[in-house]
Amino acid sequence: MKSFKANQAAAGLLLSLLAQASLQAPLNASKWSYVGSDGEENWPKKYPFCGGVFQSPIDFHNDVLQYDSTLMPIDLVGYNVSLKEHFIISNNGHSVRMHLPSSMYIRNLPFRYTASQLHLHWGNRNKPMGSEHRISGRQFAAEVHIVHYNSDKYPDVATAMDKADGLAVLGIFIDIGNFNPSFEKIFCHFTAVKFKDQKVQVPGFNVQELLPTQLDEYFRYEGSLTTPPCFPSVLWTVFRNPVKVSQEQLLALQTALYCSQENDSAPLEMTDNYRHVQEFDERLVSVSFREGVVLSVVIASVLGVCIITGVTCWMLRKRKSLKKDDNKGVIYKPAADTEEDVSKV
Ligand SMILES: [Zn+2]
């Protein structure tokens, strides 16, 4: 938690320096996409934070992982939303988004983080890899983000989103597997939100069904929004275990939606709406689980010992054979030469 506070202070200072400039950007600057001239390489031109520090997503590789025994299972409150309540699902031109009631929150973080919305990132039908985070370089089929804001300190998500301690996002990897009836409660409404700015009201359900069963195994780090304005304001919790949806469900996600409006003469399919992994220098990811991290350390150690043993054996053998060669030289040295040499002395 020490580094959490120190990093927060640094991020806070940076935010206060840059947030004003970013927020005062002209309204027409809010144009960005995942392809073309408004693609992620050019995000920093309009959104300076996107080229800054503490950026997300990242790759969770062994060099940056650190086991932290204080990380408790995520404690979710109010996630089981009654059928009588409703969610609004909408298409914002970048993703499909489901707005969440403020009765949903995470209990066991430094502050109370109240739910705001969830959305997804995915690939395309030919390359079904569209998760934002990765584990040891592995990209999953898709990723869900459940966005929460710090309701202890800020009145709403808009006020919180540019504050260093403003947001907490849960990340869930999606893999291909069996049909998932819980995800179908969102996916079956895609035809109603096919185009940008379309909305549909859907009955409440238990949002926890979208999460993996093991809420105690996750990666934790301080990062950013993965879309412009990329504010470094997110406390990330990315679950280690993916959830599964069927091939058909994934195909529906990859093909059903458009970034463009209904009457647009040049319709643009909503595919590959993920940001690539960002630099991760001088930061560490805390992990709540030992198994896997420890195993990889053991494998690396065993490999190291094997390599050292191998190199030592090879050097010893080489030395031995060199000695043999020296001996050979002595044995077969012509007697005449030796005499000549001696006579020269
Ligand atoms: Zn997201």
pLDDT one-digit tens code per residue, 57-114:
999 999 999 999 999 999 999 999 999 999 999 999 999 999 999 999 999 999 999 9
Task: State CA 75 to chain mean position distance.
Answer: 21
Distance CA 255, CA 304 (A): 46
Ligand 1 centroid distance, CA of 174 (Å): 13
Residue-level pLDDT at 309: 64
Token pair 């490999």 in the structure block, residue: 303
Residues forming a β-bridge with 285: 65
Residue 137 CB neighbour total at 10 angstroms: 9
Cα dihedral: 297, 145, 140, 239 (round 10)? 30
The catalytic residues are: 94
pLDDT of the residue at 322: 54
Cis peptide before 44, with omega less than 30 degrees from 0? no
* Residue 163 reports pLDDT greater than 50: yes
Distance (Å) from CA 3 to ligand 1 centroid: 25
Burial 177-203 (b: 16+ CB within 10 A, else e): eeebebbebbbebbeebebbebebeee
Give, as residue ranges, everything with CB less than 5 Å from ion ligand 1: 145
- Cα torsion angle, 50, 131, 279, 225, sign: positive
3-state secondary structure at position 174: strand
pTM (global) more than 0.85: no
Q: Considering the chain, what is the average pLDDT of its residues? A: 86
Tell me how far the alpha carbon of residue 64 lies from the centroid of ligand 1, in angstroms. 22
**Domains of the chain listed by start with CATH number:** 40-294 (3.10.200.10)
Residue 23: the pLDDT is 43
H helix or E strand, kind and range, residue 303: helix 293-332
Show the CA angle centred on residue 265, arms to residues 259 and 268, nearest 5°: 25
**Could you give the CA distance from residue 218 to residue 71 in angstroms, rounded to a whole number?**
9
The tens digit of pLDDT for each residue in 267-300 reads 999 999 999 999 987 889 999 999 766 555 555 5
**Phi, psi dihedrals of residue 315, rounded to the nearest 5°:** -65, -40
Contact 100, 119 (CB under 8 A): no
Shortest CA distance to 175 belongs to which of 110, 128, 234, 221? Answer: 128
Tokens representing 187 are 């996916």
107/150 Cα distance (integer angstroms): 11
Q: What is the pLDDT of residues 123-134, one digit of tens each?
A: 999 999 999 999
- CB 301, CB 293: distance < 8 Å: no
Answer yes or no: is pLDDT of 1 > 50.
Answer: no
* 337 Cα: distance to centroid of ligand 1 (angstroms): 83
Contact, 224 vs 19, CB < 8 A? no
Tokens (6 digits) for 6: 């120190």
What's the chain's Rg over C-alpha atoms? 28
Q: Which of 20-29, 33-42, 179-188, 255-264 has the lowest average pLDDT?
A: 20-29
